[in-house]
Amino acid sequence: MASAAHTAPHPVSVARPERIDRLLSIGAVILFGAAVAAVVRGHDQWRMVPVLIWAHLTTILVATALTPVMLLRVRGDRQHRTIGKVWITAMLATAITSLFIHVSGPGRFSVIHLLSFWTLFQVPLIWWTARHHNITRHRRAVHGMVLGALLVAGFFTFPFHRLLGNWLFG
């Protein structure tokens, strides 16, 4: 009997995206566009950028690009779960690489690193809530992750003489 429940189809949500889904998706699209524009504008400095920064930037661009797809399409089907696994992998990789990026010298964390530690805790929770079909908690955790670790952290990549800000506005 337990195996029959385990093989039951996953619930698929065809509900329309909520307003928060649309707003977070718009924010992700704007952030993705700004980051790509910055990278293109900074092409003459690409050789000077360490591999760690490129890895960090690549993983966050993957997560940011997938965010609107995840929030606006049908949820719970096989494609959603597959894209979700790529998204959580990208988010974890982004958080891990950020722990090795220091502006003030080795071993010095900034306030933004708090989001990295939060991500390392929150992403497994997102996976666990999805796996156990706790949809309400899963959606709240995803919304919080997108808002905090993508949009807020993304905003802080542009000011304060940071790489993307210099490339985009410099």
Residue 67 in contact with residue 31, Cβ under 8 Å?
A: no
Residue 24 in contact with residue 139, Cβ under 8 Å?
A: no
User: Could you state, in chain order, the average pLDDT of each consecutive group of 10 residues for the chain (170 residues)?
Assistant: 50 80 97 97 96 97 97 92 97 94 68 87 96 94 95 86 90
Residue 72 in contact with residue 39, Cβ under 8 Å?
A: no
Q: Looking at residue 105, what is its pLDDT?
A: 55
Instruction: Give domain limits for the chain.
Output: 18-169
Q: Which residue type does 154 have? A: G
pTM, entire model: 0.88
